[in-house]
Every structure is written in C-alpha cells, then in structure tokens.
C-alpha cells in the first residue's frame, strides 16, 4: 500500500506544462486517465482522456487491481487503448487536485498500475485549481486547461 509520505508520490507528480510537452512528443505514448465521475467527464475533459468510473465501494475493497480499473471503462475503443498500455506513460487526474485520499479510486488505480508494471511510468496531474474551478465552472475549467496546453505547445 502506498503511504502518504512515499517519495514515489512526489516523483510521480506532473505539471500541466510538462503534460503538454509529453502529449506533444512523438516519442511518448501517453495514456491519459480521467478518474472523475461519468457526469463530470461528460461536462468536459482533456482531449484523448479515458474516463474510468468505478464505484467507491469497489475501489475500497481489498484486492483492487487493474482488472477492476478496466471494468470501469465504458467505451470499447477506450478499453482497447487501455489494454495496449504496455510501455506507455499513464497520467491520472481527478477532481481533487493534490489533496489525495489514499483509499480513493485515484490512488488505488495509481497503485494498481504501478504494481502491474506494464506502463513505462505512472504519473498524476497536479492542480488544485482544477478542483476549485471544476466545482463551480466545469466547462470553464476545461477551456482554461486547453488554452494553457495550447499556449505551451504553440508558445
């Protein structure tokens, strides 16, 4: 089980700017995983993200693993992309920014992917601003994030 003071957590943190560079790279396969609710995902998401919606009760069970994560993917195309994750850099994000509950779906998914070892690396997107904006203005959050990514890529 991952601990709150585990140095791997800090090392796995990725900024929006670094994510933009990673997604722009032709050398990296990026698997972007949106761990918000299906409703929040449908209100707006980062392009190319796969929504993983797993009930909280399942995420809190002992033995949670990558198969449970896969079951939370509703679109067949996204399921196929997830199954082809070997060597990819997985980047997870949710509505909580950097304030993480280590028993949440987010950290259970992080831990399951790290433990499985198929991904080249498993990262998590920083940004409490995503939570604050997403709560009140979900579409604005998406627009600001996309604008930021566009400015980083173009500028």
Q: What is the pLDDT of residues 71-95, one digit of tens each?
A: 999 999 999 999 999 999 999 988 7
Mean pLDDT, all residues of the chain: 81
Q: Which fold has domain 28-154?
A: Oxidized Rhodanese; domain 1 (3.40.250)
pLDDT band at 132 (very low <50, low <70, confident <90, very high): very low
Does the pLDDT value for residue 61 go beyond 70?
yes
Mean pLDDT value of segment 94-110: 75
pLDDT of 129:
44
Token pair 């601003």: residue: 129
Which pLDDT value is given to residue 128?
45
Residue 140: other Cβ atoms inside 10 A: 12
Q: What is the signed CA dihedral for 111, 78, 44, 135, rounded to 10 degrees?
A: -30
From the list 125, 119, 133, 137, the residue with the least C-alpha distance to 94 is: 125
Residues 6+ apart with CB under 8 A from 141: 44, 130, 133, 134
At 136, list the tokens: 């009140």
Are 31 and 48 within 8 A, CB to CB?
Answer: no
Kindly report which listed range (23-32, 34-43, 102-111) carries the lowest average pLDDT score: 102-111
Sketch the domain layout of the chain as residue ranges. Answer: 28-154
Residue 36 has pLDDT above 90, yes or no: no
CA dihedral 140, 145, 148, 150 (to 10 degrees): -100
Overall pTM surpassing 0.85 (yes/no): no
Structure-token pair, residue 58: 């399942």
Instruction: Name the DSSP letter for residue 84.
Output: T
């Amino acid at each position: 089980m991952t601990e709150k003071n585990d140095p791997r957590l800090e090392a796995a943190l990725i900024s929006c700017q670094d994510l933009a560079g990673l997604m722009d790279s032709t050398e990296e396969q990026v698997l972007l995983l949106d761990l918000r609710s299906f409703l929040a995902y449908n209100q707006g998401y980062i392009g190319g993200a796969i929504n993983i919606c797993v009930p909280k009760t399942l995420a809190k069970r002992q033995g949670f693993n990558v198969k449970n994560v896969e079951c939370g993917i509703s679109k067949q195309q996204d399921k196929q992309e997830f199954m082809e994750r070997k060597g990819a850099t997985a980047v997870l994000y949710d509505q909580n920014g950097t304030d993480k509950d280590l028993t949440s779906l987010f950290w259970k998914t992080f831990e399951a992917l790290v433990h499985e070892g198929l991904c080249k690396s498993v990262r998590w997107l920083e940004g409490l601003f995503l939570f604050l904006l997403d709560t009140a203005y979900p579409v604005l959050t998406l627009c600001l994030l996309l604008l930021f990514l566009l400015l980083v890529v173009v500028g």
